[in-house]
Each structure stands twice: as C-alpha cells, then as structure tokens.
Structure 1
Amino acid sequence: MCMAIMQPSFPEKMTMNYKIIYKILLGFSFSFLIGCGKNNTTTPMKRDIIDVVFASGYLAKTNEYTVTANTEGFLNLSLVKEGDQVKVGDDLFRLSNGVQSNQLDNALVNYQDAVTKAKPNSPQIAQLQLQIEQAETQLELDRKNLDRYSALLQTNAVSQLDFDKAKVQFENSKAHVEILKKSLSDLQQSLQVNLSNAKSQLRIQQENNDDYFIKSQISGTVLNVYKEQGELVKRGESIAKIGGGGNILKLFVAEEDISRTALGQRAKISLNTEKDATFDAVITKIYPAFDEKEQSFVVEATFTNAPTSIYAGTQLQANIVIADIKNVLVIPTDYLVKEDMVILEKDKKEVPIKIGIKTSEWVQVMEGLDESTRIITPKKEKE
C-alpha cells in the first residue's frame, strides 16, 4: 500500500543545505509515488537529477598571517583591537625591553665613540700627524746636514767619521718618518674596522630592539587578538591574526570524494550566520596533499553571489555540484538490487541495467529500462 508523505519538521541541527536538497527530492517523491499501487511498483520517469559532494568548512581571507613574537617579554602596549584596519608597517604591539634598551644604549655609545675616533681630526690621528710633521722637519734638517758634510768631506774639512755620523742620523730620521706614516695608516685602518664593528653591533641591537616593537606585515583587518596587555609573551607565541585581500571559502572534502571534485564546479553554500539563505560559489583551488590536521583534502572556493555581511572564520556547509543533468530517466535508489539490477513486475525476474549518476535517493538509468517498464522494490518481493 502507498504511504502518504507528510511535510517533515526539520531538526534544529539540520543544516540549510540539507533542507534544500531534501525539499528538492521531496518533490520527486510525490511524482513517483502518486501512481504506485498495492504491489509497491513504479516506472522510470524523466526528471532532473543533481549529484553533489558534501563539504564542511569556514570563511577565510586570501592573505592571512599570524602575528608572532620574535622574543620574550611582557605585552606592555596593545595598539590594535579586533576589527581594526591596519597597513604595512603599522605598530601593533610593544613588549617590555629593559635589558635590551640598555644593550642598545651601550651599542649606540660605542658607535658614536668609534665615529669620533675615526674622524680625520680625532686626537689619536692628530697626534700621529703632528709627530710625522716633526719627524719630517728633522729629516729635512738631517738631509741638509748630510749634504753639507758631503761637500766638506770633498775638501777634507771634516773626517770620514763625522760624515758617517751625519749619514746615520739622516737614515734614522728617514726610517722614523716611514715608521710614523705606517703607524698612522695602521691606526686609521684599525679605527675604521672598529667603526664597522660598532656599526654592525648597533644594527644588531636595533634589530633585536625592533623585535619588541611588533609591526604589521600586510594591510588588512585585525581578525583576532590572543593576548591581553600585561600578559607574558614567549618567543614564537601567537599574539594576533591579520587577514587581508578578498574572501575565500576553505572546504574540507573527504578522501572518497576528492577524485570527483574539479576546478570550476559550482557549489551551494550555507553559512552558520545566515541559516535561512544559500549562496553560490565556484571551486577555484584544490590542494594536492592530504591535510593531516583536518583529516581531509582542502578545497578553496569563491563566492559568485556573496552575502552582504561576511565574518572571517564563519563555519559553513557546502554542496559541491558534481553533475546536474536535465530530463534524464531515473528510478528510486531503493529499487536497485545488487547495485545494478532491478526486479520486473511482470515475472519477478532480476534484470541488469546500466546506471549513471547515483545519489542516496535516485539513480540515473542509462540502459535496460524505459518509461513503460514496471519494477518492484526488493523488500516487497521478499515479503
């Protein structure tokens, strides 16, 4: 005997996308069961059939990153809150840096001292330059004295010993000037090396100090702030999340369904924030590897008609349309025997059929039946 189909009351936990699919299939059920008789028979009919893959997921931004601490310290100042708009380079948070500030101050003092000492008129350089000038003056006197003794030696006015003493004095003065010049060159080089090292140390301390002043790396919206002012923040710990760019849908597809999913497929989206509406989307990216954390494959989609209000992180359900075929021959899935056979009403024999799309409610008949063939359900036959 045919059973009357009543309008169901949906449980609160049933998602909107399930309700929509159910209502579509409910219309099919009325068409199929209107002509059924006491033997629970039916005939194939031409109808539209939709094959879908279910996926859960959430809304995200195309460009999201987690703000983390590069050093440890207490959160002294929070400059942003959830919902704030930020630009690249904007200050977000400041951590305590008492010890680091001292190290930076010392590095700055050392650098300034190195700059002073490396100047051309610095005391050390000026002292050596003065010594060189004095030595060069003495060298010039010794050179003239040697020339004089050389001329006197020609007339036997001085002894060879006196000439040799004058020559030794000249050679010593000459060597002294060369030594002083070499000392000046070494000093200048040493002061430049010291300046370079001090500059490097200052840069390192400035970079270390910058770790306590956390800035935004992208332009976007502050989605979450995980730490409150005054809390201890450890190195590598998350402080906030910032999202920029457009909106995307992150969908989690089961292993058995990923091979049926392809780029460009349409999807019906039901958001937990708008349970009474559905939105259209299209598959834009399929990640090539299985996600161990989510225990599923990850697929991305974008809205083709987006909701007015979008909140990052909103949970959602999606029906990815694998196939949508119009006016094809279908029968209820319950009438199948052994996956690809049906029972004829006239002789109660099982005959094979070729099937196409198969859902939990309906199956497409490609060969083996026509609209005049009456079939019965396996359960009724057993009774």
Structure 2
Amino acid sequence: MKKFLKILLVVLLIVALGFSGKYLIDSNSKSPIVFTTEKAFKTSIEEKTVATGKVVPEDEVEIKPQVSGIIEKIYVEEGAAIKTGELIAKVKVVPNEQSLNSARGRVKNAEISLANAKQDFDRNKALFDKGVIATQDFQNVKLRYDQAQQEVRNAANDLQIIRQGSTGGAKAITNIRSSVAGTILEIPVEEGDQVIQSNNFNDGTTVATIADLNKMIFEGKVDEAEVNKLKIDMPLKVSLGAIRDKEFDAKLKFIAPKGDEEQGAVQFKIEGEVFLDESYFIRAGYSANASIVLDVKKDILAIKEALLQFDRETEEAYVEVQTGDQEFERKDIEIGLSDGINVEVLSGITEEDNIKVWNKTEPVKKEGEEGQN
C-alpha cells in the first residue's frame, strides 16, 4: 500500500511539472509587439494661428438730438437703408423751467435797455437836427440804440429756441435727420421716450445707429506669444459662424500697441479689412475666426509629429531609428516649424532612416480567442 502511494505521488509530481513547463513555454513563446517604421519626407509646412472675434462695420454713427424733449414720431425701422439728410424722427420740445425763466428775464432786461436807449436817441437826434451836438456824439448814441435793438432780437430768439427748439416756426417740434448714408442698425428709443440733447457735459440720447454694411472689418485678439510675428498688410482668411464653407479674404490693418490681460494671458486686439462677396449679406456682429499664416517653409525635410519623443530630463526631442530586425537606437534631432501634424527636421536623421512608431500597443484579444487557440 505504501509503495502504491509513493508511485501515485511520483506520477502526480511528474504531471504537475509537465503542466508547469508547458505554461512557461507557452508564455515565452508569445510574440512581442512588432513595431512598424516610417521615413522622413519632403513637404511644405505652414505655421498658422487663429484669432477669434467678430465682423463689425468699419464706421458706426450714432445720431443724437440737438434739443431735449420727447420723441413724437419715428419714421424709419431697423434694417432700412437711409440716405444723408433723410428724416429719422421728430422731437417735441419740453422747455426747462429754469432756462425758460432765465430767457424771459433776459428779454425783459433787453426791452428795458432798449426803451432807455430809444429815449436817449430821440433826445440827441432833436439836438443834432438843431446843430447843438457834434456828429460823432450823435453816432455814438445811435450805436448804443442799435445795439439795444439787436440785444432784444437775440434775447427773443433764445427764448423761442428754448420754447420751440428753433427759430424757424411756431411749432414746438424739431427734426432729427441722418448725417450719413447707410443701414440703420439700431433704434434704441420708442415714441414717447424722453431724450437729452448732446452737449459739452452729456453725450446725449442715441436715437439711431447707422453704418455702411458694405465696409466691414474683423475685430479679434491674439496671444502675446504670437503678436510679434504679425505685420500690417498680412493676408487673413476670415470664416463666419453664420456662413458655412465660405472664407473671406482680409488684410491686417491694425495691431494694438497695448494688450489686455484676460484669464492670466495677455491678449492684443487686431483689426482686418474684410473683402466682401456681393452674393452674401453680412450682418454686423457675426462671430468670426481669422486664420493667419505666420510662417511658410517649402520643400523641407519633415516627419510626423507623432514619431517624436522627448527626454524627461532635458526635454530634447529624439526619435528611435532602426538598426536591425526590431532593433532601434536613439537619435537626437533638431526640430523647426510645426503645423501640429508634421514637424520640420533640421538635423539628426535623413530620408533613408527608418523611424520607429513608438506608441504602438499590443492588440487586445477578443473574448473566446484564447480558448480557440
């Protein structure tokens, strides 16, 4: 019995060793990852940046009233084309009580001065006619009388302006007319709204905003890292969010001398003249992106940027070049211009080198494949 047990243990041990050996052989016989290679090639690379912004009219004019009052009638609508001098609205004048009272007082004072000057004139004229006073003395009296008459007229006109807004008629209404031709972008007031005249202390109420939509510009911002690469008259390609599959040519015309900090980054404002296509109607305020070519190099040696590796300590770029069957060695390279897909190679490799595609991973086996094998 003991002999039988010994024989059974030996057999079981042999079987266990056999399975272990098979497992080790199978594990070691798994094929390693086979790395593919690619070569450098000649191509052209453009370095671009994209500025986000919007398209706006080159000039916008705000129409403001010259007198304060209440909007009595509006004659135009937003989006309508308008010519220079065309009537936009009428304002009914509401006089300021303090100014009105002051103007009335000035008229009274002028009339009192005129009455006094007239008496002086009549008395001296009688003396002049009798030859009692000299001609020069009489002319001085007449001058004061004429000036008093003019002061009455001026005071009366000022009173009428305060009451009616002008001296041209009896109706207390003044007209607001367009000072330029273009399209009405906005009318921020309604009939019955009170408006304030434009003066040295107040910008006044805007009655309408007018612009020429045939002259549009792109307004955007670029990062400080790229602003030094920009030059006036550089070409731009402007794409609008509202119009797909269409790019408009543009030309850079302004680069801000001062940047603004936004979320920790300094941004510089740029403007570009947009060359419009008559088949498209461009509305003011469309969101837009401007693509700017910063640098171009043609017929240069390049590789795909995905082939690059970077040293963890020096952060220098390098690639792995094939030296034998699945054997590679590191080669440091100097890189130049990049467009995000391809990168220029200045030195380190040639077109003959086979470069390792380093980020290749082993395919994941599907369920059931292991059992089938």
- Please tell me whether the aligned partners of residues 220 and 269 of structure 2 are also in contact (alpha carbons under 8 angstroms): yes
1:280 counterpart (223, 244, 249): 249
Which residue of structure 2 lines up, in the alignment, with residue 157 of structure 1? Answer: none
**Aligned-pair Cα RMSD in Å:** 4.6
Judged with a 3 Å threshold, the aligned counterparts in structure 2 of structure 1 residues 64 and 129 are, in CA distance, closer, same or farther, namely closer
Q: Is the 2:321–2:331 contact (alpha carbons within 8 Å) kept by the matching residues of 1?
A: no
1:52 is matched with which residue?
Answer: 48
Residues of 2 paired with 1:321 and 1:216: CA distance? 41
**Deviation per residue, 1:151-203 (Å, 9 max, x gap):** xxxxxxxxxxxxxxxxxxxxxxx7xx99x959935742651673485278469
Query: Does structure 1 conserve the Cα–Cα contact (< 8 Å) formed by 2:321 and 2:330?
Result: no
The alignment status of 1:289 with 2:258, answered yes or no, reads yes
* Pairs within 5 Å for 1:308-327: 308-309=279-280, 310-327=282-299
Task: Report Cα offsets for 1:17-60 as digits up to 9, x if no partner.
Answer: xxxxxxxxxxxxxxxxxxxx941432111122222111112222
**Separation in 2 of the partners of 1:206 and 1:291?**
48
Residue 275 of structure 1: how far off its partner (Å): 0.9
Which of 302, 306, 310 is 1:330 aligned to? 302
CA apart distance, 1:368: 2.2
What secondary structure sits across from 1:320 in the alignment?
strand
Q: Give the 3-state SS of the residue equivalent to 2:350 in structure 1.
A: coil
Change (3 A) 1:108 1:90: farther
Given that 1:100 and 1:208 are in contact with CA atoms closer than 8 Å, whether structure 2 keeps it comes out as no
Report how many residues are paired.
Answer: 307
Match of 1:306 in 2: 277
Which residues of 2 match residues 354-369 of structure 1 at below 5 A?
354-369=334-349
Q: Is the 8 A contact 1:280 1:306 kept in 2?
A: no
2:188 to 226, 251, 274: 226
**What does 1:18-33 correspond to in 2, within 5 Å?**
none
> Who is 2:199 aligned against?
none
Give unmatched runs, 5+ long, in structure 2: 1-32, 168-172, 197-201, 362-373
Q: Tell me, yes or no, if the aligned pair for 2:319 and 2:332 is still in contact at 8 Å.
A: no
Q: Partners in 2 of 1:204 and 1:89 — Cα distance?
A: 22
| Percent identity of equivalent pairs | 22
Of residues 131, 155, 171, the one that matches 2:123 is 131
Give the TM-score of the pair, scaled to structure 2: 0.64
Partner of 2:352: 372
Cα distance, 1:81 vs structure 2: 1.6
- Residue aligning to 2:370: none
- Structure-2 separation of matches of 1:87 and 1:360: 50
The 1:129–1:281 alpha-carbon spacing in structure 2 relative to 1, beyond 3 Å, is closer
Q: Which moved more, 1:104-113 or 1:333-342?
A: 104-113
The 8 Å contact of residues 41 and 377 in structure 1, kept in 2 or not, is answered as yes
* Aligned residue number for residue 29 of structure 1: none
Shifted more, 198-207 versus 77-86: the winner is 198-207
**One-letter identity of the residue aligned with 1:324:** V
Q: Is the 8 A contact 2:118 2:145 kept in 1?
A: no
> What code does the residue aligned with 2:123 have?
Q
State the TM-score, normalizing by the size of structure 1: 0.63
Q: Is the 8 A contact 2:45 2:338 kept in 1?
A: no
Paired letter, 1:365: V
Distance 2:118 2:70 in 1: 49
Could you say which structure has the higher helix fraction?
1
Q: Work out the CA distance in 2 between the residues paired with 1:241 and 1:91.
A: 14
1:20 alignment counterpart: none
